[in-house]
Structure 1
């Protein structure tokens, strides 16, 4: 377990460096799956990690937001502020948000700072539609959902991602392992 009790303070402290791993991509690109797998691997390796998922936040703290560009920006701003608070407490925070526009990713990076690691899950729209477990693409194609990213709302590809993973050409485990190998040096225990 990565938490230990400090004899000096008598409260748990983490023995790792916090960071924010920001996964973004179209709906169905694998964000939630890879973030869950990464969290589980980190925990097995003795790290303290948590996930922030866009769908979950929209059911709670962000339920007052719609899908206009300004609401999407506010959704990302709130998520980045939460992630930053966790990071400042040495928690590894894995975020999974569509984050469709470069200006949204830039906003998250500016809020979080140097411990922000951006990962683009690059998957063709056709494959994401095949994986449509929630039926959202079907509803968007039928015009039952408006402003749906990749269909009726724009998605800008990565410009400054630290890592690009093509989730249509490898398994979720392979994608997670690739990501884990890239971040491990950032989260080594504090000296």
Structure 2
């Protein structure tokens, strides 16, 4: 088993927590997001671990508007094969662009000939452990519904605005009536 390391990065959004093993980033949590406490409990604070230094340099470039891509970093998000396939697909969404859960589901369904639901994609997106770098904030609902961000809609809107997206075209989801608990990708 590989050792785990973490560091904290001060950003314009607030403190960002990064988690890595010796080979790749395994978690990035923005303010308001709940880190994987199980992994974090096993991690050692190590600001100079090479992968964490790379992750912080990536964030420096992002917050300076240099448009880094997820492919510039070694990433190893823990999750099922399906979730990892969805997260890999999210990494292809360019800076400042939006895609819908439905678009991603249709594209991912085509190679196998089977069907995939937008809700299944939303479930995987909602469990993305490497926020911002794996750009789940660039995924919206049908007709511009601003759903699907674990850090809350205000943070999602702020990230999109930072990337130059005209957020005026996006709207908060309409309430669907009483619900005991919203799904994670709608929080």
Give the structure-2-normalised TM-score: 0.29
If you compute each CA radius of gyration, which structure gives the higher value, 1 or 2?
Answer: 1
Flag the structure with more relative contact order, 1 or 2, with Cα contacts below 8 A and sequence separation at least 6: 1
